[in-house]
Amino acid sequence: MLPDGAVVLVLVSGGADSVALLRLLAAGDLGDCSRRLRVLHVNHLLRAEDADGDESFVSALCATLGVPCRAVRYDVAAYARAEGLNLEDAGRRVRYRFADDELDVWCASLGVPGEAGRIAVAHTADDRLETFLARVITGAGTGGLASIAPVRGRIVRPLIDARRAAVTGYLTELGQTWREDATNADTAQQRAWLRHELLPMIERRNPSFAETSERTMRILAGDEALLSQLGADAARGVVAVDGDALVFERSALAALPCSLARRVVRDAIVGMFGEASRLPFEHVEAIATSATGGGFARDLPLGLRAHAEYDTIRVSRRGGSDSSVAPGLLELPGVLDLGASGTIGARELPAGGVLPGPDAVSIDAGAVRWPLVVDAVRAGDRMRPLGLGGSKKLSDILIDAKVPARMRQVTPVVRDGERIVWLAGVTLAEECRVTPATERVAELTWRRP
């Protein structure tokens, strides 16, 4: 966890566990990191004067120990309301976000890589037991039941094998005080009820519950690591990233065993959208089993949405749809910026030059009037696609070409007056094709964003 000379940022709330961790680190009892040690205290602004007292206590303790300390104030309640989170989850996200930023800046100032840094957190064996029980009650898979990981990336938990009684005993021997959060005694809150009522009752029945549960969690953590590797292997050919969206191939997803399909879906979503680390089972199950159905659309927590698009299921953030084509005039030669739709360019080619589509085509430059108008699909638009022999609605052409609905309003339409010359990326108009009689050839090129 803490190699010699490690750069260590310790999160200190002022409670017994974090104070004990700080004292151990500052004394060098957990490795040679006391010379590269800093403290971060996050004031959640939830408990008024008590929260301010915690901040003052931590700052004074750090001054006594000679450890640099930064205190950050952040309105966690407002953040929780804005993001639809409970206070515990919101506070956790805020703390780790600030810790990551602080550690990155500190490592950069020392000229060491960010991965050389550690964020030390004071979770104990009791925290791990309480989390295990909480997830048994609310429901979880192997990853959730494995409870709090001793190491996760740069986050390390040196006290994870210590019982809380041993921690407070250590502080008492030092004569070191700590701050008590009154809400920790409120058994109306699940965490406090687990700590003060359920866990003591279980340990009266089975005094070895901590040891047997630790073994269970270790087994589950090993199983979780294996399943994650199997899921990563299975994901190849099943899931891909398309810009800011995840794309699952429905047939490939359907071919997987259900448990493996759930694993692929969940791991991919969490990997792409870190805020979805606690995505409820029913959403994962719905996506994993949607592969064999027809249409599918589902709003997910945290502003995400999953929907069917032909042979795929796409997961992206809601409200992130592309805007329409920014209209303009295309000169010959010239390049037109279409905003969210990329660019359209025109240039002359030698006579007889013909380009294949779909994103670059040759047209009879003399068969149209320049400049050409470029905009988006309009209601009722029709054209004569190359080789069809008749006219057809653009909406039907786009559907037949399997252009996703989200892309139809960002597909450029090149017009000569009311006549459509080119539906970019899809088809050229029959009357604008290059023929043996063509004297001037123009190349049109769509560069997608």
Domain ranges of the chain: 7-212, 236-317, 328-447
Beta carbons of 160 and 169 less than 8 angstroms apart: no
Which H or E element spans position 262? helix 258-272
From 142, 143, 123, select the one nearest 191 (Cα to Cα). Answer: 123
Q: Is 95 helix (H, G, I), strand (E, B) or coil?
A: helix
Tell me: pLDDT of 17 over 70: yes
Beta carbons of 410 and 329 less than 8 angstroms apart: no
Fold of 7-212: Rossmann fold (3.40.50)
Report if pTM > 0.75.
Answer: no
Give the tokens for residue 223. 């199983």
Give the tokens for residue 73. 């104030």
Beta carbons of 68 and 39 less than 8 angstroms apart: yes
From 355, 335, 329, 359, select the one nearest 347 (Cα to Cα). Answer: 335
Tell me: pLDDT of 321 over 50: no
Residue 354 confidence (pLDDT)? 60
Query: According to CATH, what is the number of the domain 328-447?
Result: 3.50.40.10
Domain 236-317: CATH architecture, name and number where available: 2-Layer Sandwich (3.30)
Q: What is the C-alpha separation between 151 and 164, in angstroms, rounded?
A: 19
Residue 352 confidence (pLDDT)? 61
Query: Using 50, 70 and 90 to split pLDDT, how confident is the model at 186?
Result: confident
Please give the share of the chain, as a percent, with pLDDT higher than 90: 46
Q: What is the C-alpha separation between 111 and 105, in angstroms, rounded?
A: 10
CA angle (384 as vertex; 383, 390 as ends), nearest 5: 125
Query: Using 50, 70 and 90 to split pLDDT, how confident is the model at 322?
Result: very low
Average pLDDT over residues 333-347: 86
Query: Using 50, 70 and 90 to split pLDDT, how confident is the model at 324?
Result: low
Q: What is the C-alpha separation between 332 and 81, in angstroms, rounded?
A: 54
Compare 24 and 308 and report the one with higher pLDDT: 24
Query: Using 50, 70 and 90 to split pLDDT, how confident is the model at 150?
Result: very high
Please give the share of the chain, as a percent, with pLDDT higher than 70: 96
Instruction: Quickly tell me which residue has 């990326």 as its tokens.
Output: 425
Identical topology for domains 7-212 and 328-447: no
Highest mean pLDDT among 4-8, 59-63, 345-349: 59-63
Instruction: Quickly tell me which residue has 């690591």 as its tokens.
Output: 225
Residue 356 confidence (pLDDT)? 58
